[in-house]
Amino acid sequence: MKILDKTRLDSTAQGLLHREIRSLETLQHPNVVRLFEVVDMPSRLYLVMEYAGGGDLSNRIHVEGRMCDHFAKITFAQILAAVKYMHSLNIIHRDLKAENVLFTLSGCVKVADLGFSVRVSNRNHLLDTQCGSPPYAAPELFQDEPYLGPPVDVWAMGVLLFFMVTGTMPFRAETMGKLKRCILDGSYTIPPLVPAPCQRLIKGVLKPRPLERYVLDQMLGCEWLLPVEFPWRFGTADRDSPVLDVDNNVADEETEIRSAMDALGFTEEHRRNNTLSDSRSPVGQCTASCCTAPRCPAELTPSLWSGAWCGTPNERACGPIGDSGTPPNSAPSHEQWQIPHTLNPGSP
C-alpha cells in the first residue's frame, strides 16, 4: 500500500501521481502491477496495490549476480508481454528500469511505477517531455526534439536485457556529460559470455536511430526467445465488461467467487453498476481483486528460481556494479540523475 501525504505533494508530484493512477486503472495484465483501490482522504491518499514480495530486479542482481540464460528468457519474456500489452492500449511507460521490475514470491514479473507514463492517440504521436532515468534513456531523449514513444520503451528494454545477462550496464560513465556521449555514440561492448542469439537481440534493440530499432513483434519472434512460450494475452482487455456475467460460461473458481460475493451482499446489480476500472469503487475493486488472480508460468517456482542467478556479485565476470550500473562510488544514483526539465505533468 502507498500512503501519500497530500499536503506535501507539489503540483508536479500531484500530476505524476494522477497520471500513474489513470494508467493503472486502465491496465489489467498478469505482468503489470495492479491497483486495487484508491482511498482519498482529506490529508492522505491511500493506494491499495498488488503485493510483490520478491523484491526488484536491480536489488536481486546486485545481491545474486547476473541471470542465467534460461531464467533471463523467462523474465524478459514477461517484461516484453507487459510492454506489448501497454502499447496495445497506446500507453507508453517511459521509465522502464530494473528498479521498476518487481517479482512476486513465486518469481512472476510485475512492471510497476507508471508515473511518467503517457497515453498517446496513435503510435506516430510525437512526445516532447524528457523523462526517465538517464542510464536507460534512448539517444533521442538527449536531443531536445520531439520523439516517438514506443522506440523509447524498446531501448530501455535493451538496457534491461543487457543488465540481466551481464550484471552490468551497457552505458557507464562518471559524469552525466560522458554518459550522454556514450549513449549518443551507441558505444558498448557485449561480453562473450552472452549467447549469440541474445547478442543479436541486444544489438537489434540498442540501435541509436529509433526507426532502425527492433519493434516489439521482432523481439517476440527473435531466435533467442523462440523456446519461450508466452502465456499472456497481448490484446486489449475490456476492463468494463462484467467478468462474472451470468450469461457467460464461467470457470468453477469464478462461480465460487460470485457465491462468496453474494454472501457478502454484493449482488449482480452491484457488480454491473461498478466497473472494474473504477479504483475508487469498493464494489468494483473487490470484484477485480477476486477475479483477476495473476497466472504465472508453471516453471516459476521458488525451488527453480534458486538456480536463476550465476554467482555472487564478487564472482561476476563483469565485475561489481553500483546503482547506475557503474563501479561503486563512481557515479550518482538514478534519482540524482533525472534528466533536466523532465517533470512537466502538463505536457506529454
pLDDT digit string (tens) for 214-232?
A: 999 999 999 999 878 765 5
In the chain, what percentage of residues exceed pLDDT 90? 47
Least confident range from 70-84, 252-266, 320-334: namely: 320-334
Residue 334 contacts residue 3 (beta carbons within 8 Å): no
Strand partners, 54: none
User: What's the CA angle centered on 208, arms 204 and 214, to 5 degrees?
Assistant: 30
Strand partners, 91: 119
The pLDDT of residue 347 is 53
The answer to whether residues 92 and 150 belong to one domain is yes
Residue 28 contacts residue 34 (beta carbons within 8 Å): yes
The pLDDT of residue 336 is 34
Residue 9 Cα to chain centre, angstroms? 24
| Of 5, 69, 95, 113, catalytic | 95
The answer to whether residues 20 and 132 belong to one domain is no
The pLDDT of residue 284 is 57
Give the count of domains, the chain: 3
The answer to whether residues 134 and 276 belong to one domain is no
The answer to whether residues 14 and 121 belong to one domain is no
Phi-psi region of 113 (alpha: psi -120 to 50; beta: other; left: phi over 0): left
The answer to whether residues 100 and 135 belong to one domain is yes
Closest Cα partner for 55 from 94, 95, 110, 4?
110
Can you give the CATH number for the domain in which 13 is found? Answer: 3.30.200.20
Q: 110-124 pLDDT, tens per residue?
A: 999 998 999 999 889
Question: Which range among 37-51, 75-89, 231-245 has the greatest average pLDDT?
Answer: 75-89
pLDDT band at 154 (very low <50, low <70, confident <90, very high): very high
Q: Return d(Cα 26, Cα 240) in angstroms, integer.
A: 10
Q: Is 217 a catalytic residue?
A: no
State the average pLDDT over residues 76-89: 96
Least confident range from 15-19, 107-111, 221-225, 274-278: namely: 274-278
Whether pLDDT at 281 is above 70: no
pLDDT band at 71 (very low <50, low <70, confident <90, very high): very high
Q: Return d(Cα 171, Cα 168) in angstroms, integer.
A: 9
The answer to whether residues 43 and 150 belong to one domain is no
The answer to whether residues 7 and 155 belong to one domain is no
Whether pLDDT at 282 is above 90: no
The answer to whether residues 40 and 182 belong to one domain is no
The answer to whether residues 40 and 164 belong to one domain is no
Can you give the CATH number for the domain in which 132 is found? Answer: 1.10.510.10
Whether pLDDT at 233 is above 50: no
The answer to whether residues 43 and 61 belong to one domain is no
Closest Cα partner for 50 from 334, 279, 259?
279
* Residues of the domain holding 172: 57-234
**Per-residue buried b or exposed e for 285-320, using 16+ beta carbons within 10 Å of the residue's own CB:** bbbbbbbbebebbeebeeebbeebbbeebeebebee
